[in-house]
Amino acid sequence: MINVLIVGKGKMGCLLKNRAEELGMNCLGCCDVLDPSLLEQNKDRIDVILDFSHPDNLNWILEQIRGTRIALVEGTTALSKEQKEAMEKAAEDNPVFYSANYSYGIAVFHKILELAAPLLKDSFDIEIVETHHNQKADAPSGTALALLETIDPGKEYDPVFGREGVIGKRGREIGIHALRGGTVAGIHEVGFYGNDEILEIRHTANSRMIFVDGALKAARFLCGQEPGLYSMVDLLK
């Protein structure tokens, strides 16, 4: 039986806890840096930590797993460059799985873009639009930024985050736009706009459960893995 600990006590944390128990995992509970005892007292029992909480928790988690074999499934967005580098460092000694989006469909979305973007980007304009519920804290979403990275890994284009005023003729750019409202779990669209034709790719998440199930699939995958930094690409193999 896999012993999992959830960092975060919000909606996602509760969904992860309940689903983990439904799948027969032993969930030790939910905690965070403000209530650290559950993690600190169970280091010898924890197989995997799942963190979908807040960037403020990550440094604490990395400190706690140092010197252990505990695996980490990290899904918090809006991490700083320094935090991502610290996570990569931790992966030298612990199995770490990181993704901005744990949907299997989004993983396939990236694969499609890897094929389509090199064929289209020189002759088509590209725009990214993401829509989320009105409680989401960060914008644009981590998934939108990851899609941008897949489309333009060499940073050949200027990212333009929304437009306002007299902007003039379009430059060598990719637009990224964030919409917020209601209870939308997540919609991500990439549009390629050419002369007299448009190609649009869209993914819609109807509930957070697709992210929950993806994260728990990642947790099962990490058990028994050697230290390293893993991603959704590894689940597609």
Whether pLDDT at 237 is above 90: no
pLDDT surpasses 90 at 177: yes
- 136 included as an active-site residue: yes
Closest CA to 7 of 70, 68, 69, 67: 70
In our burial notation (b when 16+ CB lie closer than 10 A, e otherwise), range 47-81 reads bbbbbbbbeebbebbbebbeeeebbbbbbbbebee
pLDDT tens for each residue of 57-82: 999 999 999 999 999 999 998 899 99
Distance of CA 189 to the CA centre of its chain: 16
| Identified catalytic residue from 17, 132, 188, 203 | 132
At 100-143, the pLDDT tens digits run: 999 999 999 999 999 999 999 999 999 999 999 999 999 999 99
173: amino acid identity, one letter: E
Q: Does residue 1 surpass a pLDDT of 90?
A: yes
Average pLDDT, the chain: 96
Q: What pLDDT does 36 receive?
A: 95
CATH superfamily label, 3-102+209-236: NAD(P)-binding Rossmann-like Domain (3.40.50.720)
110 has catalytic annotation: no
Res 147: pLDDT: 98
- The strand pairing partners of 95, in sequence order, are 228
Q: Which fold has domain 104-205?
A: Dihydrodipicolinate Reductase; domain 2 (3.30.360)
pLDDT tens, residue by residue, 184-236: 999 999 999 999 999 999 999 999 999 999 999 999 999 989 999 999 999 98
Contacts of 135 (CB under 8 A, 6+ apart): none
pLDDT of residue 90: 98
What's the pLDDT at 164? 95
**Domain ranges within the chain, ordered by starting residue:** 3-102+209-236, 104-205
Q: Is 177 helix (H, G, I), strand (E, B) or coil?
A: strand
Read off the pLDDT of residues 23-61 as tens digits, 9 standing for 90 and up.
999 999 999 999 999 999 999 999 999 999 999 999 999
- SS3 at position 221: helix
Catalytic residue among 136, 155, 169, 188: 136
The pairing of strands 125-132 and 186-194 is antiparallel
**By percentage, how much of the chain surpasses pLDDT 90?**
97
